[in-house]
């Protein structure tokens, strides 16, 4: 069984938390923050529910998260599947 993914509020690198907080505040995201969010979402979509074929679109599209707009769309799709990484 795959372990549940880590939660952003518990991360200790000092990279992800500021990126998530900037996203949630609606602040502009730089390339590093987008990369941190993308990596975080990648681990979420590889969580225990990853075997669900209904999540193929999320798995396939996570690497294309290169802007706030793409992140918003991806999170909307995730929420439709009851996956809420934030």
Separation of CA 45 from chain center: 8
Q: Distance between CA atoms of 37 and 72, rounded to whole angstroms?
A: 11
pLDDT tens digit sequence for 25-48:
999 999 999 999 999 999 888 877
pLDDT reading at 54 higher than 90: no
Tens digits of residue pLDDT in 57-76: 898 999 999 999 999 999 99
Confidence band of 1 (pLDDT split at 50, 70, 90): very low
Residues contacting 5, CB < 8 A, separation 6+: 43, 44, 46, 47, 85
**So what's the pLDDT on residue 5?**
65
3-state SS assignment for residue 82: coil
Distance, CA of 28 to CA of 23 (rounded, Å): 7
Which letter does DSSP use for residue 84 in this model?
-
Length of the chain equals 86
């Amino acid at each position: 069984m795959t372990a549940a993914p880590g939660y952003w509020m518990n991360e200790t690198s000092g990279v992800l938390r500021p990126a998530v907080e900037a996203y949630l505040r609606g602040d502009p995201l730089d390339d590093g923050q987008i990369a941190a969010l993308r990596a975080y979402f990648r681990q979420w979509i590889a969580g225990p529910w990853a075997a669900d074929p209904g999540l193929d679109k999320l798995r396939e599209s996570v690497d294309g998260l290169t802007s706030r707009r793409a992140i918003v769309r991806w999170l909307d799709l995730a929420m439709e599947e009851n996956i809420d990484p934030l």
